[in-house]
Amino acid sequence: MTTRELSPLDRVLSEAQRALDTVFGAPGAERPNPAGNTAELVLEPDERRHSAGLMRINHVGEVCAQALYCGQAAVARDESTRGHLLEAAQEETDHLAWCADRLRELDSRPSLLNPLWYAGSFAIGALAGLRGDGWNLGFVVETERQVEAHIDEHLQSLPEGDQRSRAILRTMKADEARHAENAEAAGARILPMPVPALMAAASKLMKAVAYRV
Ligand SMILES: [Fe+2]
Ligand SMILES: [Fe+2]
């Protein structure tokens, strides 16, 4: 691997490539899917639809997390912060792939609005990143905590028989908690109001839309 400095054009092109992979590609997971051999029980049509709606929200959540981290990394001044953010984004790729697998098993599909979710989250990440590194890590903590909270809601709400989705969400929840702890340990600052409230409002809107579209 070369260590030459990337030009601004190289950076823009590699960001565009990553965005296209996340939104339209089928990123491969490094770890095996946690659903493994968990039995696929027969779900009623309305249960299947509900499961698919929840897993689509989780998939969008992962698209947004990747875009946020890439937006932050794109403007990070410090190389080690950039590395930390890109590593965090990479770890979300497993989640993205597992949610996409489950959507296929449920005869459903990811959100049609993924390009929009990606673009909006990338912009928010870049804005946050311009405030400096403590903010960057604070954003990671807040994002991970919010994702963890909606995974918890989904674990309650999924149909009783959908143990395959549950297995995936349980592993994701443990990973997100670890991501938040790592960012805290690396010196995250606590985001002032109204930033966490605005992030929660944006995620509520995303969940309402992504459940259906
Ligand atoms: Fe994730
Ligand atoms: Fe995460």
**In the chain, domain spans:** 41-210
Judge whether residue 1 has pLDDT over 50.
no
pLDDT in tens, 180-205: 898 888 888 888 888 888 888 888 88
Global pTM exceeds 0.85: yes
Closest CA to 151 of 141, 137, 136, 165: 165
Instruction: Calculate what percentage of the chain has a pLDDT beyond 70.
Output: 95
* Tens-place pLDDT, residues 111-155: 999 999 999 999 988 988 888 777 888 888 888 998 998 899 999
Alpha helices in 76-162, H assignment, sequence order:
79-105, 114-130, 133-157
Cβ atoms within 10 A of the Cβ of 39, count? Answer: 8
Identify the nearest ligand to the CA of 172 by its number.
1
| Cα 65 to averaged position of ligand 1 atoms, centre (Å) | 7
Residue pair 107/48 in contact by the 8 Å Cβ criterion: yes
Asked whether the predicted pLDDT for residue 32 surpasses 50, the reply is yes
Of all ligands present, the nearest one to the C-alpha of 168 is 1
How close is the Cα of 18 to the center of ligand 1, in Å?
16
Kindly report the three-state secondary structure assignment for every residue of 155-166: HHHCCCCCHHHH
Going from the Cα of 42 to the center of ligand 2, the distance in angstroms, rounded, reads 31
Nearest to 133 by CA among 195, 73, 175: 73
Residue 107 — very low, low, confident or very high, per pLDDT cuts 50/70/90?
very high
Q: State in Å: Cα 95 to ligand 1 middle.
A: 5
Question: Rounded CA gap, 191 and 204, in Å?
Answer: 19
pLDDT: which is higher, 78 or 164: 164
How many C-beta atoms surround the C-beta of residue 3 within 10 A? 4
Binding residues for Fe cation: 62, 92, 95, 144, 176, 179
Give the ligand whose atoms come closest to the C-alpha of residue 141.
Answer: 2
Could you tell me the two tokens for 188? 């995250």
Interval 46-83: pLDDT, tens: 999 999 999 999 999 999 988 988 888 888 888 887 88
CATH top-level class of 41-210: mainly alpha
Q: Tell me which of 11-20, 97-106, 122-131, 190-199 is least confident.
A: 11-20
Nearest Cα residue to 15 out of 89, 111, 108: 89
Nearest-ligand number for the alpha carbon of 180: 2
| Site of tokens 């995974």 | 151
What mean pLDDT do residues 26-43 have?
A: 84
Q: What pLDDT is attached to residue 25?
A: 64
